[in-house]
Amino acid sequence: MKLFVGLGNPGAKYSRNRHNVGYMAVDRIASGHGAGPWRKKFQGQVSEAMIAGEKVLLLKPETYMNESGRSVGEAARFLKLPIGDVVVLYDEIDLAPGKLKVKVGGGNAGHNGLRSISAHLDNDYVRVRIGVGHPGHKDLVANFVLNDFAKADQLWLDPLLDAIAGAAGRLVTGGNERFLTDVALALGQDAPKVETKTDRLRKDRDAGEASASPLKSGGHPAGERAGKRQSALADNLRKWMEGRRKGNSE
């Protein structure tokens, strides 16, 4: 069994807020997969659906955003779910409007709903980050997310929610990258490039070279230490690449 959680605030006045895009996504998944009626449980509204051959409990906490973990924690403990079977869909101001990313664990980036869930459970649940854009200054964030989507946003919001619902089976089976690919294809976009271990090591090597170069003309001790760390990462990359080439030739 999986637990899909859509984050938001209860009540009609919040229903079209950017902060409620998690609610919207779970509602669209429910309607797209023939879920049963919503009922009150676990300090929220729940519904059940069969998605990709597995039972999924859909949950919209009604504890308000900052206390989302009370509802999510109660549901996960009652169902005895491992943390990896909890999928949380929520608004992400650090992504452009309509941009979508999935990650497991990581920081909460100031999102109070995530902070509450991590406090009541653990940190390594699946996060579906739905980009809503940034107002440009941190002091404007609260007002921005607690206001409704603009009319122009409907051009990307409704198709994105439909695509998320259509690809939800991938989240059930653990195919997070395939989920992103299916959403992109449904929206007529190019499939996202999956970052491999080689890509990450190459980025570390390039960053090491960039940070080390200013030291040639005399660098700050802290910068020198960073340069040494990055040089070590670059050495690891070269050794790893040599090992791959050797392995491929055998």
Encode burial over 214-235: b for 16+ CB neighbours within 10 A, e otherwise.
eeeeebeeeeeebbeebeebbe
Coil, strand or helix at 189: coil
What Rg do the C-alpha atoms of the chain give, in angstroms?
21
pTM: 0.77
Q: Is the pLDDT of residue 248 over 50?
A: no
In tens, the pLDDT along 87-139 reads 999 999 999 999 999 999 988 878 999 999 999 999 999 999 999 999 999 99
Q: Where are the alpha helices (DSSP H) in 187-220?
A: 197-212
Quick check: 93 and 134 in contact, CB under 8 A?
yes
Q: Which residues are catalytic?
A: 19
Burial of 52 (0-12, 13-18, 19+ CB in 10 A): middle
- In order of 60, 149, 170, the CA distances from 19 in angstroms are 13, 9, 24
Q: Is the pLDDT of residue 58 over 60?
A: yes
Quick check: 163 and 186 in contact, CB under 8 A?
yes
